[in-house]
C-alpha cells in the first residue's frame, strides 16, 4: 500500500484531485480527421507542416506558429493536410484555471474573450519563440519523470493558456471573417444559455424551422433542443467551480424553469447531480470515501474506455485491494466493473453511430470491444436494438417526426 509519511505536504493531492490531470502529447497528422466532442479545453500548437483545421465550420490555416485553443463548444477537426502536421496537444479542465487565476479584467473583457475571439492566433517573431519554447518545455516535462513534474506542467499550461487569451483578445476587431450561418447559430445557442431563444428565433426568412433544425444536426450532430441543453450543462460545469454561487442562482442564470429542472438536465448529461459534480469532481475527494473513489473510477473508465482496461488496473492506479474496489462498484453503482465498463462503451458507441460514417466494426474497435460480435451482443442487451437499427432511427430527418 502507498505510504503517506509526509501527509502534511499534500503528497496525495493529484490522486484525490482528478481534475488537475493535464494531458500532453505530440501528434503527427498526415490526413483529415473526424469531428469530435471534447469536455476539456484542447490547445493545439503547430510545430511544423501545413494544413487546415476546421473549428465550428470555418477553416483556419495550420502552419508553424499557429496556436489553437478550442473550448468545449468548439467542434473541430483537421480538414486538410498538405505537409504532415507536427502538433503539440495540451488538454485540461478550464474550471481549475478559472478558479485559481482569473484576474480582474476591464468591464466585459471576459465576455469578449468567449464571444469575440477567434480560436486561433498566428504567432511570429519573439512571441512565436516564447510560446514555442514553452510548448517544447511542456513536452519534455510530460516525458521526463522529474521532481515537481506535475506542478511544472500545471504552471506552464496556465501560462500557455494566458498567452492565448492575451493574443486572441488583442486580435479582436483587427480582421473580419464571414461566418457560415448555421455555425453562427450553433455558437449562439451554446453560449447564449441565459436567453430563452427558440428555433423560430434562429430561423431566417425563407427557411423553415424544420430545415434549420436539420442543418444544425447535420453540422454538429445535435438537434436545436439538444444543443440548448448541452450549452446549459457546459456553462453549469464552469459556474459550479465557484462555491459562493448557489444552485438556485446558477439554475436561474442558465434560464432553467426550476431547480428541479436544472438537476434533472444536468444529471442526464453528466450522470451526477450538480452538487455531486461540485463535491466529487471539483473539491478534494476524501480518502477512503466510497462515493469519492467511485467517481474517480468512473472518470478513469471514461478516459480509458477505448483501451483494454481491467479491474486490476484500477487497483494498481488507486492503490486498493480487489475486494475493496469490487465492493465500491457494488455499493455505489449496483453493477460490477465489467458491467459499468460495457455501459460506458455503449454510450460512446451511440455517439459515433449518430455522427460520422464509421463502420460498425470500426466503432466496435474504437470503443474497446475485442470483436464485432461482442459489440453487437452488448449493444443489443443495453439498447434493445442492433447498432444498425439504432443508426437508422437516429438519422431519420426531423421533418419525418
Q: Check pLDDT > 80 for residue 148.
A: yes
Taking residue 131's Cβ as centre, other Cβ atoms within 10 Å add up to 20
Domain 290-394 has CATH 1.20.1290.10: no
The pLDDT value given to residue 210: 87
Who has greater pLDDT, 311 or 249? 311
Give me the half-sphere count of Cα atoms (radius 13 Å) on the Cβ side of residue 68. 29
Least confident of 25-29, 55-59, 179-183, 346-350: 179-183
pLDDT in tens, 347-395: 888 888 887 788 999 999 989 998 999 999 999 988 888 999 888 887 7
pLDDT in tens, 83-133: 999 999 999 877 666 655 556 777 767 767 766 788 999 999 999 999 999
Query: Residue ranges per domain, the chain?
Result: 12-170, 181-281, 290-394
Architecture field, domain 181-281: Orthogonal Bundle (1.10)
The pLDDT value given to residue 119: 92
Q: Check pLDDT > 60 for residue 13.
A: no
Element containing residue 47 per DSSP (H, E) = strand 41-55
pLDDT in tens, 295-336: 678 777 887 888 888 999 888 877 778 888 888 888 777 788
| Mean pLDDT in residue range 239-264 | 79
pTM greater than 0.85 (yes/no): no
Q: Check pLDDT > 70 for residue 137.
A: yes
Who has greater pLDDT, 16 or 220? 220
The pLDDT value given to residue 324: 83
Who has greater pLDDT, 13 or 67? 67
Looking at every residue in the chain, the average pLDDT score rounds to: 80
Q: Check pLDDT > 50 for residue 7.
A: no
Q: With contact defined as beta carbons under 8 Å apart, do 391 and 353 qualify?
A: yes
Element containing residue 233 per DSSP (H, E) = helix 224-239
Who has greater pLDDT, 30 or 266? 30
Q: Check pLDDT > 90 for residue 151.
A: no
Angstrom distance (rounded) from CA 297 to CA 82: 41
The pLDDT value given to residue 340: 87
| Mean pLDDT in residue range 201-207 | 77
User: For residue 384, what are the contacts with CB-CB under 8 A and spacing of at least 6?
Assistant: none
pLDDT in tens, 233-243: 877 877 776 66
Angstrom distance (rounded) from CA 375 to CA 345: 9
Same fold, 12-170 and 290-394: no
Taking residue 61's Cβ as centre, other Cβ atoms within 10 Å add up to 12
Q: Check pLDDT > 60 for residue 16.
A: no
- Percentage of the chain beyond pLDDT 70 is 81
| Mean pLDDT in residue range 4-31 | 62
Q: Check pLDDT > 90 for residue 396.
A: no
pLDDT in tens, 57-93: 889 999 999 999 998 778 899 999 999 999 999 998 7
Q: What is the CA radius of gyration of the chain?
A: 22
Q: Check pLDDT > 60 for residue 288.
A: no
In the CATH scheme, what is the homologous superfamily, with its name and number, of domain 12-170? Regulatory protein AraC (2.60.120.280)
Amino acid at each position: 500500500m502507498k505510504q503517506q509519511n509526509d501527509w502534511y505536504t499534500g503528497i496525495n493531492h493529484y490522486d484525490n484531485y482528478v481534475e488537475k490531470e493535464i494531458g500532453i502529447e505530440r501528434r503527427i497528422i498526415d490526413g483529415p480527421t473526424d469531428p469530435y466532442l471534447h469536455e476539456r479545453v484542447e490547445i493545439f500548437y503547430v510545430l511544423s507542416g501545413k494544413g487546415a483545421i476546421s473549428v465550428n465550420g470555418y477553416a483556419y490555416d495550420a502552419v508553424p506558429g499557429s496556436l489553437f485553443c478550442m473550448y468545449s463548444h468548439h467542434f473541430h477537426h483537421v480538414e486538410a493536410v498538405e505537409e504532415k502536421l507536427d502538433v503539440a496537444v495540451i488538454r485540461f479542465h478550464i474550471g481549475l484555471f478559472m478558479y485559481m487565476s482569473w484576474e480582474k479584467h476591464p468591464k466585459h473583457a471576459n465576455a469578449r474573450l468567449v464571444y469575440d475571439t477567434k480560436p486561433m492566433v498566428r504567432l511570429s517573431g519573439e512571441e512565436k519563440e516564447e510560446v514555442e519554447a514553452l510548448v517544447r518545455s511542456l513536452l519534455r516535462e510530460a516525458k521526463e519523470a522529474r521532481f515537481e513534474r506535475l506542478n511544472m506542467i500545471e504552471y506552464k499550461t496556465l501560462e500557455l493558456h494566458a498567452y492565448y487569451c492575451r493574443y486572441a483578445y488583442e486580435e479582436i476587431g483587427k480582421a473580419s471573417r464571414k461566418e457560415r450561418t448555421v455555425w453562427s447559430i450553433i455558437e449562439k445557442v451554446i453560449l447564449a444559455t441565459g436567453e430563452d431563444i427558440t428555433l423560430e428565433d434562429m430561423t431566417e426568412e425563407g427557411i423553415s424551422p424544420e430545415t434549420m433544425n436539420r442543418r444544425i444536426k447535420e453540422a454538429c450532430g445535435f438537434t436545436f433542443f439538444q444543443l440548448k441543453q448541452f450549452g446549459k450543462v457546459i456553462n453549469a460545469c464552469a459556474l459550479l467551480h465557484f462555491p459562493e454561487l448557489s444552485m438556485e442562482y446558477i439554475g436561474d442564470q442558465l434560464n432553467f424553469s426550476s431547480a428541479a429542472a436544472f438537476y434533472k438536465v444536468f444529471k442526464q448529461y453528466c450522470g451526477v447531480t450538480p452538487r455531486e459534480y461540485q463535491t466529487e469532481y471539483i473539491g478534494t475527494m476524501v480518502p477512503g470515501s466510497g462515493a469519492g473513489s467511485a467517481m474517480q473510477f468512473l472518470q478513469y473508465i471514461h478516459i480509458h474506455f477505448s483501451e483494454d482496461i481491467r479491474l486490476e488496473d484500477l487497483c494498481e492506479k488507486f492503490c486498493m485491494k480487489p475486494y475493496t474496489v469490487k465492493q465500491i462498484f457494488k455499493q455505489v453503482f449496483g453493477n460490477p466493473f465489467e458491467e459499468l465498463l460495457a455501459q460506458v462503451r455503449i454510450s460512446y458507441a451511440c455517439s459515433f453511430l449518430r455522427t460520422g460514417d464509421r463502420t460498425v466494426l470500426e466503432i466496435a474497435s474504437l470503443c474497446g470491444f475485442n470483436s464485432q460480435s461482442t459489440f453487437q451482443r452488448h449493444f443489443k442487451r443495453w439498447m434493445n436494438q442492433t447498432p444498425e437499427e439504432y443508426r437508422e432511427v437516429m438519422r431519420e430527418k426531423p421533418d419525418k417526426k
